[in-house]
Amino acid sequence: MRVVYGWGMIDVPVTEQSDDLRTLLELLDVERVDDDIYLGRHPDQVMARTFGGQLLGQGLVAAGRSLTKGTPPVHALHAHFIRGGDVSKPIEYHVDRFRESKAFANRQVTAMQDDEVIFTMLVAFQDNKAGLEHAVDIPSVPYPEDLPPISEHFEGYEDTVAAFVNALHPIDVRFANAPTWKMKGTGEQLNHNRAWMKTDGPMPDDPLLHMGALAYSSDTTVLDSIITTHGLSWGIDRLFAATVNHSIWFHREFRFDDWLLYATESPVAAGSRGIGSGRYFMRDGTLAASVVQEALIKHFPSRS
């Protein structure tokens, strides 16, 4: 079956895609409305403010679509979250061109609503050339086929983590350790998190979309290790979290409709901020991407 998105006719078995994955692909299909201005929309399933992964994914696609001299792959992005987005309004992505050649390109993406900046991101593109190579090893965890889907972890916790239950689920997530709300019941404290991820169905071949989908997913689970280090849980403990900045380095091309292990940990929390760092490994152990996110995170203990 062939399906039409903004980038043209694409051979993809749509019947094998979940409804939520089709929604994600529509979200990533930002509309060009003027020279270097793209319009992004929200899904029906929204939270109180725009999901950070949506801003990352839409901004990345907008930057990639502005290239005119060849298509070097995305090498890195560095984003700052300035205001919470209004989920009832579309978002304008303004792209500034800083440099462009066949081997290198640089873009700045500014997301705006009502003439106010809510998000800004630098995106770098660079050809992958042969050179020195090394990487850390993939952690030892069960294969995703041996782990339950996230829907099973929601059973019995529908009210506790209602925001997660009711969110868009275009990514198939398989936790290799208990999620925070289950860990809370055991009293366990864990300084890392391991979760296999892939899109919930096949993706078009465009590498930019695979990077956009990974960017979308990178804003999930990355902060979990901050709170599980202290034995805390989303939905159970009184926590407030808001992303301050987020960076991704893409080391190799990958397909995000194949399983990748998102291995995260928190090296530090201080000054009401915490850092979550993560690595995406392909199933064969190849390191595909690295992530660092800093967030404002506060815990309000219950009064005894």
Q: Could you tell me the residue ranges of all domains in the chain?
A: 2-127+143-299
pLDDT of residue 252: 93
> Are the C-beta atoms of residues 66 and 107 closer than 8 Å to each other?
yes
pLDDT at residue 118 tops 90: yes
pLDDT at 69: 73
**The CATH number of domain 2-127+143-299 is 2.60.40.10:** no
Hey, which residues does 99 pair with through a beta bridge?
106
pLDDT for position 5: 39
- Whether the per-residue pLDDT at 11 is higher than 60: the answer is no
Q: What is the mean pLDDT of residues 183-211?
A: 95
Distance CA 218, CA 241 (A): 15
CA-angle at 207, arms to 203 and 210, nearest 5°: 50
pLDDT tens-digit readout, 153-183: 999 999 999 999 999 999 999 999 999 999 9
Banded model confidence at residue 9, pLDDT cuts 50, 70, 90? very low
Q: What is the mean pLDDT of the chain?
A: 92
Helices and strands in the chain: count of H runs, count of E runs = 7, 14
pLDDT at 15 over 80: no
pLDDT value for 185: 87
> What is the b/e burial string over 287-303, where b = at least 16 CB atoms within 10 angstroms of the residue's CB?
bbbbbbbbbebeeeeee
d(CA 216, CA 235): 22
Top pLDDT among 45 and 245 is at 245
Q: What percent of the chain stands above pLDDT 90? A: 85
Per-residue confidence band for 70, with pLDDT thresholds at 50, 70 and 90? confident
Q: What is the DSSP letter of 146?
A: G
Nearest CA to 153 among 131, 171, 175, 121?
175
If we measure between CA atoms, which residue out of 241, 236, 252 comes closest to residue 284?
A: 252
pLDDT of residue 303 exceeding 90, the answer is no
Does residue 137 register a pLDDT over 60? Answer: yes
Average pLDDT of the residues in 34-59: 95
Query: Residue 8 — pLDDT band, cuts 50, 70, 90?
Result: very low
What does the pLDDT look like over 259-302, one tens digit per residue? 999 999 999 999 999 999 999 999 999 999 999 999 999 999 87
